[in-house]
A and B are shown apart, each in its own frame.
Chain A
């Protein structure tokens, strides 16, 4: 915990620092990659546990639970997206669970894992919540942008997609084409930015508040910590659900003709 020789700002900046490998542009956030991949592997393993001995008869508890998740994702996609769901539904579930796992890491007391890493491996900086790293959320949302473009082309054809880019929403008048294009490009860029910033903002703020709470004297620390953790318990699934739902909506908007 807060040792006497460190100032409060030292502790805060220390907790916000990443385990970086490499310099400048080519630096890699090893902590973000490690913990997000760990979450992903855990997620796929849990799902696989339920799917491994899938039976049409009476399902095991694990299978039942995973079926619940699968149906949840499938229904969420079905509600807005009216194309084939064999990729969309796994996509939705992957986003939801992956982001959920990321966010849950925020509830691990902030000193435990960094302290463990420092003692065992001598790592000075470690930030375990991937969704509090803007690179993780943007990595996800830019992938979603690629899928939006892919599904736009898949749903409308290359020509239809290009045409909509140039003529929507003001009309096909040649004078209006530049405005249409600018508007569409801005809209397209705004989507991943809003997705990424919303998730990052929520989790970063939550992380920061946990850090600030940890600066309090130890005999009172637990009270605000519990209150904030309980509140954060609402934010964790909400942000995961939002990311999934917005992704589905963006992709279906691109895929389907809105006129």
Chain B
């Protein structure tokens, strides 16, 4: 076992040189990369959490929107049904009125026609009566003298 001071000193110097090399060459890039990676992972996790939260929000919003849309659709259907019923009711009313009016017109026309026919008939009967009476009575009857009686007769028909 030989002590060699120069070897000892050389070993010490080498030791510090290698520490220095490790400190300067190895440590800075690696610790920087590791810290950066840590940061990146933390950011990634935060983003994931945030997006999960946003998804949850969007989901509840979508449910709300669908619910509203369904509500609106139901409203629209209800209004449409109501409107349809109204239209049908109106049409019925209209039809009934039209019918009644037509009926009334027809009736009044019939009445007029009837009146007119009755008038004509009366005139014709009067003429016929006069003609008949004249042919029967020819001579005895003076149309002028019996005009009043004839008129009464016509009225009675």
Contact = CB atoms under 8 A, between A and B. Distances in A.
B1 A28 contact: no
Interface of B: 1-12, 14-19, 21-23, 25-27, 29-34, 36-37, 39-40
A36 interface: yes
A54 B12 contact: no
Contact of A93 (B9, B11, B14, B22): B22
B86 to A, nearest CB: 71
A209 interface: no
Interface in A70-114: 70-71, 86-87, 89-91, 93-94, 98
B12 A140 contact: yes
A43 B12 contact: no
Interface in A191-236: none
B12 A143 contact: yes
Contact of B25 (A20, A47, A56): A47
B34 A67 contact: yes
Given A20-B2, A27-B6, A66-B26, 8 more contacts: A33-B10, A51-B27, A57-B37, A67-B34, A70-B27, A86-B27, A87-B19, A135-B3
A136 B33 CA distance: 35
16 contacts: A20-B2, A25-B5, A44-B18, A44-B25, A47-B22, A48-B25, A50-B26, A52-B29, A54-B30, A54-B32, A57-B37, A70-B34, A90-B19, A135-B7, A142-B12, A143-B16
Contacts of B26: 44, 47-48, 50-51, 66, 70, 90, 93
Contacts of A51: 25-27, 29-30
